[in-house]
Amino acid sequence: MEGGETRTDGNAIAGVLQEVFVREVTTSRIACAGCGNVEPIGAEHAYTQAPGIVLRCRNCDTVLLVVTQAPGRNVLAFPRSRWIEIATD
């Protein structure tokens, strides 16, 4: 990982999020508590080259979700997201 931007998007964390939510959530909309912007998770900015995964609002960079993984458990944190809307198909 020499140089370059470390940013990808919510598609890159679809697998990890499915571990946590036990379903696909990249089409689920998430609301930013920083600027109010609402986007599908797949469209938001994701940083995966880190001790955990950080999902940031693509409009204002506010941290929406953080996922950290340790043996035997995942922690899902919602630092500054207001809600996530998940389809019940």
Partner 1 sequence: MARAAVLGRLNWTLGEVTELIDETPRVRSIVLDVANWPGHRAGQHVDVRLTAEDGYQAQRSYSIASAPEDSRLAITVELLPDGEVSSYLFGELRRGDQLELRGPIGGYFVWEASKGGPLLLVGGGSGIVPLMSMLRHREAAGGSVGARLVYSSRSLDDVIYRDELQELSAGSNGPEVFHTLTRSQPPGWTGYARRVDGAMLSETAWPASSSATAFMCGPTPFVESVATALVLLGYPATSVKTERFGPTGG
Partner 2 sequence: MGRISRGFRGRRSSEADASRLPPGQYRVDPDFPVLSAGPTPHTPLEQWTFSIVGEVAEPKTWSWEEFRALPSEEIRTDIHCVTKWSKLDTMWEGVAIDTLLDGVEHVATHVLAFSDGDYTANVPLEDLVDGKAWVAFAFDGQPLEDEHGGPARLLVPHLYFWKSAKWVRGLRMMDHEEPGFWESYGYHIYGDPWREQRYWGD
Is residue 4 classed as helix, strand or coil in its secondary structure?
coil
Question: Which residues have a Cβ under 8 Å from the Cβ of 89 and sit 6 or more positions away?
Answer: none
Q: How far is the CB of 32 from partner 1 (least distance, A)?
A: 15
Under the rule (CB under 8 A), what is the footprint of partner 2?
A: 1-3, 5-7, 45, 47, 49-52, 54, 56, 61, 63, 66, 68-70, 75, 77, 79
Give yes or no for a contact between 81 and 31, defined as CB atoms under 8 angstroms apart: yes
**DSSP symbol at 1:** -
| Among partner 2, partner 1, none, partner that 85 touches (CB below 5 to 8 angstroms by kind) | none
Is residue 47 classed as helix, strand or coil in its secondary structure?
strand
Q: How far is the CB of 64 from partner 2 (least distance, A)?
A: 12
Interacting residues with partner 1 (CB under 8 A): 1-2, 4-12, 14-15, 18-19, 22-27, 40-43, 48-49, 89
